């Protein structure tokens, strides 16, 4: 991945339930890019959106640089909730295999366009969200939808290693964020 444009941003990794283990692409990206920071939750097994969202917001406020957030699964819901509460410093979000908001955050997440460039990456056979629901939420959030075929939950079990395609999507998001910031 070309890191030049990414160097203009703080990159936060927001894992989902049970964190992202060593085989997960999020963990591998942190090894490739030691400057990427991770949001660490107090309880990786809790499905209470409020504390997860608050932690994302807390970590975001520790640094005032423009930030790209790379979220997975339940971390996507926490990220969206955090951004809706306070969009400051968020330049863009990459929402990979979001957990289904209708299952985990019914009524808590607005069906509004996010105030920054966003991309939802969805798998056709994700057990945590149907392809149709992922497309619906991407539309509601004003996100670019990227369908990647049958990759399951796009996690460690998907065998993606460093997931070059995902890194290219992060680079594309950084470019969109850069153009959006220039036009403000």
- Structure tokens, 5: 């444009």
Domain membership of residue 120 (yes or no) is: yes
Whole-angstrom CA distances from 165 to 35, 42, 44, 110, 143 are 20, 31, 27, 29, 18
**Tally of domains within the chain:** 1
Domain membership of residue 14 (yes or no) is: yes
Residues 6 or more apart from 15 whose CB is under 8 A from it? 24, 26, 38, 39, 41, 44, 72, 73, 75
Domain membership of residue 1 (yes or no) is: no
Cα distance between residue 116 and residue 68, in whole Å? 10
Domain membership of residue 15 (yes or no) is: yes
Residue range 64-106, pLDDT digits in tens: 999 999 999 999 999 999 999 999 999 999 999 999 998 887 6
Kindly report the CATH number assigned to the domain that includes residue 153: 3.40.50.1820
Domain membership of residue 34 (yes or no) is: yes
Can you give the C-alpha Rg of the chain in angstroms? 15
User: In terms of residue numbers, what domain contains 117?
Assistant: 6-182
Residue 28: strand, helix, or coil: helix
Residue range 11-65, pLDDT digits in tens: 999 999 999 999 999 999 999 999 999 999 999 999 999 999 999 999 999 999 9
Residue range 144-176, pLDDT digits in tens: 999 999 999 999 999 999 999 999 999 999 999
- DSSP H helices, the chain, are 25-32, 49-60, 74-85, 101-104, 131-140, 164-182
Q: How confident is the model at residue 3 (pLDDT cuts 50, 70, 90)?
A: low
Sign of CA dihedral 13, 14, 16, 17: positive
Q: If 0-12 CB within 10 Å is exposed, 13-18 middle and 19+ buried, where does residue 33 land?
A: middle
């Amino acid at each position: 991945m070309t890191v030049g444009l990414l160097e203009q941003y703080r990159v936060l990794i927001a894992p989902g339930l049970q964190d992202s283990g060593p085989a997960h692409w999020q963990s591998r990206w942190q090894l490739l890019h030691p400057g990427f920071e991770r949001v660490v939750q107090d309880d990786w097994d809790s499905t209470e959106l409020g504390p997860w969202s608050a932690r994302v917001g807390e970590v975001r406020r520790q640094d005032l640089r423009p930030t790209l957030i790379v979220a997975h699964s339940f971390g996507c819901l926490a990220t969206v909730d955090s951004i809706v509460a306070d969009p400051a410093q968020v330049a863009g979000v990459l929402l990979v295999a979001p957990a289904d908001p209708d299952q985990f955050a019914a009524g808590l997440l607005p069906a509004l366009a996010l105030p920054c460039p966003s991309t939802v990456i969805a798998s056709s056979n994700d057990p945590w969200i149907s392809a149709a629901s992922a497309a619906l939420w991407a539309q509601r959030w004003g996100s670019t939808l990227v369908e990647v075929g049958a990759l399951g939950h796009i996690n460690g079990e998907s065998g993606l290693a460093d997931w070059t395609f995902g890194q290219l999507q992060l680079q594309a998001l950084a470019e969109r964020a850069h153009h959006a910031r220039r036009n403000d």
